[in-house]
Amino acid sequence: MQASGLLRNVRNVVHNYTEVEIKVREATSNDPWGPSSSIMAEIADLTYNMTAFPEIMGIIWKRVSDTGKNWRHVYKSLVLLDYLVKTGAERVQNQCKENIYSIQTLKDFQYVDNRDYKDHGKNVRERATQLVSLLKD
């Protein structure tokens, strides 16, 4: 297990996250690969559960508000939201429409890595633009 995974496991225990919250945290982690289709499908199924839904959305909205070096949290949350809007419970889409301003502000997201001067904010801006368009259709 990588150090980042070990640290995530410790945080999961310390913060007493539920199994559902842990799945969402895993799907939206800072790891340099995207969320797996299997975990996104599991989370989409869980959006139909009345208890799990607020846990899912709570972690997603928290991740969406991250900044700077945690740009992957934001990007992966947008990827997951896009998937959930298309395949999850209708209330995902309703909540996203209610919070569309939070997504729209990400169209201006900025983060340039100091090491390689790569504009990682561009990925977030593009994904936010796509999701806003989807929600307005």
Rounded to the nearest 10 degrees, what angle do helices 37-46 and 19-27 cross at?
Answer: 140
For the chain, give the mean pLDDT. Answer: 92
CA distance 101 to 123: 18
- Of 79, 85, 109, which is closest to residue 97 (Cα–Cα)? 85
Output 31 or 87, whichever has higher pLDDT: 87
What residues does each domain of the chain span?
3-136
User: Which CATH number does the domain 3-136 belong to among 3.40.640.10, 1.25.40.90, 3.40.50.150, 3.40.190.290?
Assistant: 1.25.40.90
Report yes or no: 123 and 98 within 8 Å, Cβ to Cβ.
Answer: no
Longest dimension (CA), the chain: 44
- pLDDT band at 24; cut points 50, 70, 90: very high
CA-CA distances (angstroms) from residue 60 to 108, 112, 125?
A: 19, 23, 17
**Cα 68 from Cα 61, distance rounded (Å):** 16
Say what the pLDDT of residue 122 is: 96
pLDDT of residue 14: 62
The reported pLDDT for the residue numbered 12 is: 59
Q: Could you tell me the pLDDT band of residue 41, with boundaries at 50, 70 and 90?
A: very high
Model pLDDT, residue 16: 72
**Concatenated DSSP letters for 86-106?**
HHS-HHHHHHHHHTHHHHHGG
5: three-class secondary structure by DSSP:
helix
Under the banding of pLDDT at 50, 70 and 90, the label for residue 114 is confident
Query: Looking at the predicted structure, is the pLDDT value of residue 43 above 90?
Result: yes
Query: Quick one: pLDDT band at residue 45, thresholds 50, 70, 90?
Result: very high
